[in-house]
Structure 1
Amino acid sequence: MTIFLILAPFGSFALLMLVTSAEISLFVAATICLAVIGIDVHRGRSIKMLGAGSVVIFAALGGYVAWVDPNLSHSAVKLTVDVGVLAISLVSLIIRKPFILQYALEEVDAETAKQPGFLKAVYLITWAWNAAFVLMIIGNLLTIYVPGLPLWSGLAIAFAARNSAVYFTAWYPRYRKTKYGTPPASVLPCIH
C-alpha cells in the first residue's frame, strides 16, 4: 500500500496529462499529494519530504501554467516535474537525510534501523531512484528536442525507469537479508 500511495500523485499526473490540460493534471496531482499527506498524518506518521515537496512542485507549476504561460508544452511540464523531484531527492542527500529514510524508518523496527547496513541500503535505494529520475528527464528531453519522436517513447522510458526503481527498492532489501542475514530495510513494502 505504501508504494501505491507514494506513486499515486505521479501516476495520476501522467495519466491525466494524456487526456486533459496540464493545469488540471498538476492541480489534481497536488490534491492527491495533500490527500496522501493527510493519510500519513491520520496514521500518526511523519510528513514526508517527497510528498511535501511534490505538493509545492505541482501547485507552483500549476499556478504558473494557469496564470503565466498556459501554452507551456506537455513535455516541458513533465520535464519540470521530473527535474523538481530529482532536486528534492538530491537535496535530501545533500542534507544527509535521504528521502527514502523517512519511509524506511516507519517500516522497520528500531533494532533493524541501528544495523550498519541499514543506512547503506537506504542511500543505495535513493541513488537508484535518482538514476530513474535522470532517465525520466532524458525521456522528456528527447520528446522536446527530437522532432518526430513518438510520444509513447518518452512514456516508455519513464515507465521502464520508474518500474526498475520500484523493483530495485523491493529486491535490494531481500538480497541483503539473504546475503548478510539481517534485514537492512524493507523500505517500501507491499511490492511482492
Structure 2
Amino acid sequence: MNDSDGPPGPTGLKGVLESPIVGMSPWIVFSLVVGPGRFEIAVALALACTVVLLAAGRLLNRGSSWKILEVSDLVFFAGLAVVGALAGQGTLRWLETYAGEVSNIALVVIAFGSMAVGMPFTLQYAREQVDPSHWHTPEFLRTNHVITGVWGLTFLVAAVSGAYGDIVLRDPNDLWTGWIIQILAIVAAIRFTDWYRRWSGPGSCGSAGSRSPRSPGSPACCCPWPACSCRWGSPSSSSRTPGAVCPSSRSAPYSPRSCVTDPRTPWAREGR
C-alpha cells in the first residue's frame, strides 16, 4: 500500500490512543497492583485509567468507533467497583487474593472469544490505521488473529503465574509469580506485536502479496519471498530486484514505505 492510499493512520497522542495496548493498560495496571490490602486502590486506578482513556479517545479521535476492549474495560471495572462497595469482609479478602487472576482470565476470554466470532479485538484498532481496501484481505485478518492470540496467551501465562503464587506458594506478593513473570510476558507480547505487524503488514516482506519479485518502484516489498532479509540489511544479489530500496520498518504500522529505485545504490540497507 502506498502512503497515498487513503488517509494515514492517526499520529502522536491520537495514534497512541488508537493502540490496543493502551486499551489493555487498565487491565495491566489492575493485575499488577491488586493484592492483599490493595483491592480498592487497584480498582480505582483501573477505572480512572479507563475513564480518562475513553474521554481522551472520544475528544481527540472524534468519530472513532467503540471497541470491544473499551466496553469490556468500563463494564468490568465498574462492576468490580460496585461489588467492592457492597461486599463483606470475607468477599473482599477473596477478591484481594484472586482478583488479579480473575481479570487475567477475563482478558483471555475476551481475546479468544473475539477470535471465535471472527472479530479479534485488535482488528477494530487496526482498521482505523489502514486503507479500507485492506480490511478484508487474508493477510490483514491473519495478522490480527495472530496478535490477538498472542495477547490471549500472554494473559493466560499471567493468570497461571498468579494462581501458582496464590495457591501453591500461598504468597500473593511473591516477586517472581506476582511481578517478574507477568511483566516479562507483557513486554514480550508488546515486542512481538510491534515486530509482527511490521513484518506481515500490507507491502511488507512477510505479506503474501510480496512473495514474488517486484519491478523497480513497486509499492509492494522489493524482496521476493522467501529471501526477504534485506529488511535487516543482508541483501543477496541473486535474489533482489536491482535498484530497489526496502521499506522502512519505522514507517506507520501496516503502512510500509513504498519501494523506490536509485541507480546509484543497487542495494540499500533499511534506514539509509
Counterpart in the other structure of 1:146: 168
Deviation at 1:16, TM superposition (A): 4.0
Say which SS state the counterpart of residue 28 (structure 1) adopts: helix
Query: 1:44-59 to 2 correspondence within 5 Å?
Result: 44=62, 45-59=64-78
Residues 139 and 158 of structure 1 are in contact (CA less than 8 Å); yes or no, is this contact kept in structure 2? yes
Name the one with the larger helix percent.
1
SS of equivalent residue, structure 1 residue 128: helix
- TM-score between both structures, scaled by the size of structure 1: 0.84
Distance 2:74 2:138 in 1: 33
Question: For the residues of structure 1 that align with 2:196 and 2:160, how far apart are their CA atoms?
Answer: 25
Report the counterpart of residue 131 of structure 1 in structure 2.
153
Q: Which amino acid counterpart does residue 112 of structure 2 have in structure 1?
A: L
Give the letter for the 1:39 counterpart: A
Q: Deviations over 1:119-139 (max 9, x none)?
A: 011111111111101101111
**Identity across matched positions, percent:** 23
Write out the 4+ residue segments of structure 1 that deviate beyond 6 Å after TM superposition: none
Once residues 15 and 106 of structure 1 are traced to their aligned partners in structure 2, the CA distance between those partners, rounded to angstroms, is 30
User: How far is 1:113 from its partner?
Assistant: 2.6
> Runs of 5+ in structure 2 lacking a partner?
1-15, 211-219, 222-251, 255-272
Q: Distance in 2 between matches of 1:139 and 1:90?
A: 19
Is the 8 Å Cα contact of residues 13 and 26 (structure 1) preserved in structure 2? yes
Larger Rg, first or second structure (1 or 2) = 2
Higher relative contact order (CA 8 A, sep 6+): 1
Deviation, 1:165, is 1.2
2:24–2:69 Cα contact (<8 Å) kept: no
1:179 maps onto 2:196 in alignment: no
Asked if 1 retains the 8 angstrom alpha-carbon contact of 2:111 and 2:148, the reply is: yes
Match of 2:144 among 114, 122, 128: 122
Structure 1 unaligned runs (5+)?
A: 188-192
Give the superposed CA RMSD: 2.5
Letter of the aligned partner of 1:53 in structure 2? S
**Count of residue pairs the alignment pairs up:** 186
Answer yes or no: is the 8 Å Cα contact 2:31–2:101 preserved in 1. Answer: no
Could you tell me which residue of structure 2 aligns to residue 64 of structure 1? 83
